[in-house]
Amino acid sequence: MITPIQNKYISNNYNNTVYAEHKQYCPAFKSNILLKSAQSSEKGSRNVEFLGRKIVNFITGFIGRKKITQIYNELSNIEKTSPEYMGKMSKAGRIFAKEKEVEINLESNRIKDIVNSNEPHIFIMNHDNQTHDPEMMTMFNTFLSDEYIKSGKASTCPRPVVILNEDILLSMNKKRREIFEKMGAIGIDASLYSADGKKNAKKLIPVLRDFVMGKANIYIFPEGKMSAYKNLDIKDKFQTGVADMVHLLVNKRDDVRVVPLAFDYNKKSKPLLSSIYIGSPIIFKKEGTHVLSSSGNVSSSFTSDDYKNFFNNPDIDYETITDKGIPVEGKNTVAYIGGVLCENLRICKEEAKAVLSKKSLGDKVLEC
C-alpha cells in the first residue's frame, strides 16, 4: 500500500552534495555543470564529428545493408497507430538483434509490471557506447512490445518515442533515417553551447502531450553529448532535460514513472554478450506545491549511503524533495529530480556491470 508522506521532511543530502556548486540551472538538454572547455571544444569539433558520423554510417550501412533492407520493408508501410505496429516493432527488433546475446533481468517481472500498470513511462539510459546503446534500447523495446502483444494491449499501449541528437539522424541515409523515425526517433538540437530551445520545444510539446494522454513511452539518454567525456563520472555528465520533463509532467498527471535502463558490454571473452538491467521505476507525484519521489532502486547493494539515508523509513513509500529540511518548490526542484534520477541510473549501471562480471553466457538470450 502506498502511504503518502505526512508532514515528514528530511534533508536531501545526496542532492546537496551533487548540486551544491550549481548556482544556475541551464535549459533542457544542456549540461548542469559549467564545462566551458567542453562547450568551446564541441563548437570547434561539431563539423568534424558530423563528418565522422556520416563515414561510420556509410560503412555500417554498407555492411548491414541486407538487415537494413529487411527492417525497412517491415516498417515502411505501417502506421504507428495501427494494431499491427507493435508486432512489426518486435520483428524489426529481432532482425536488429540477430546473433546478439543479452543478459536481462526478466525474472524481476519489471517488464510485466510496466505493461500491467497501464501507464506511460520515461526510460533513461546510460550512454557509454554510442554504437551499441541504440541496439540495446531496441532489444529492450522488443521485449516490451512482446509483452504488450501478449497482454492484448498492442492496439492501445503507448508508442515509443526516442529523443536523440538530430545530428545522428541527419548523418544517415534516407532509408536508415526513415527506419529510425518509424521506430519513434525525434531529433533535437543537443548542442552544449547553443541549443535551439524554441525549435526543441516545438518538437517536444507533441511528445509531452502524448505522454500525458498515455500514448507515448519516452526513451532518452540524459548524458547526451556529454557522454563523449569518458573520464567524467555519470553525475558530472547527467543533463537536466529529463528532469525538466518530469517537473512539467508531474503537474499534468497523477504520477510520472521513470525507469532506468542500464547497459554494459563484455569486451573480453565474448564480444557479442551484453547486459541490460531494468531498474525499479522511480515515481514522482505532486502534493500541494511539493514534489514527492519514491525510493526507486534504494535496496540495491550499490546504493550510496546518502541516498539510503534520504529514504530511511521503510514504512513510507514517498519522500518530499527537500533542502536542509525545507521542501523545494518551483523550478529549483529540477536539480533535485535530476539528482534522484542520476543516482538510480548509476545504481543500475553497476548492477548491469556486475552481471557480466559473473557470467560468460547470457541466461536470457533474445532469440531471432
Q: What is the pLDDT of residues 20-77, one digit of tens each?
A: 222 232 223 333 443 444 444 555 566 656 565 556 665 565 456 777 787 878 888 8
| pLDDT for the residue numbered 356 | 82
For the chain, give every domain's residue range: 27-284+336-358
| pLDDT for the residue numbered 135 | 84
Maximum distance among all alpha carbons in the chain? 61
- What does R_g of the chain's alpha carbons equal in angstroms? 20
Query: pLDDT digit string (tens) for 214-252?
Result: 999 999 999 987 887 788 888 888 988 899 999 999 999
State how beta strands 318-320 and 121-125 pair. Answer: unpaired
Task: Give the residues across from 285 on adjacent strands.
Answer: 292
Query: pLDDT digit string (tens) for 268-302?
Result: 555 567 899 999 999 999 999 999 999 999 999 99
Higher pLDDT pick, 362 / 328: 328
- HSE-CB for 58 with a 13 A CA cutoff: 6
Percentage, residues of the chain above pLDDT 70: 76
Positive or negative: CA dihedral 44, 50, 53, 59: negative
| pLDDT for the residue numbered 18 | 32
Report the distance separating Cα 159 and Cα 84, nearest Å: 12
pLDDT > 50? residue 367: no
**Average pLDDT estimate for 1-11:** 26
pLDDT > 60? residue 16: no
319 neighbors 301 (Cβ within 8 angstroms): no
Query: pLDDT digit string (tens) for 101-112?
Result: 888 999 999 999
Task: Give the residues across from 258 on adjacent strands.
Answer: 122, 282
Residue 325 burial by Cβ neighbours in a 10 Å radius (0-12, 13-18, 19+): exposed
Mean pLDDT of the chain: 79
Instruction: Return the CATH number of the domain spanning residue range 27-284+336-358.
Output: 3.40.1130
Higher pLDDT pick, 247 / 181: 247
Higher pLDDT pick, 303 / 175: 303
User: 262 falls in which pLDDT band (50, 70, 90)?
Assistant: very high
Report the distance separating Cα 31 and Cα 54, nearest Å: 25
Q: Which of 160, 225, 153 is nearest to 190 (CA)?
A: 225
| pLDDT for the residue numbered 205 | 93
227 neighbors 240 (Cβ within 8 angstroms): no
Task: Name residues whose C-beta falls within 8 Å of residue 205's C-beta, 6 or more positions apart in sequence.
Answer: none
Q: DSSP letters of 126-187? A: --S-TTTHHHHHHHHHHHHHHHHHHTT-TTTSPEEEEEEEHHHHHTS-HHHHHHHHHTTEEE
165 neighbors 192 (Cβ within 8 angstroms): no
Q: What type of residue sits at position 256?
A: V
State how beta strands 216-220 and 159-165 pair. Answer: parallel
241 neighbors 224 (Cβ within 8 angstroms): yes
Backbone angles phi, psi at 344, to 5 degrees: -65, -40
Length of the chain equals: 368
| pLDDT for the residue numbered 10 | 29
| pLDDT for the residue numbered 53 | 58
Higher pLDDT pick, 78 / 65: 78
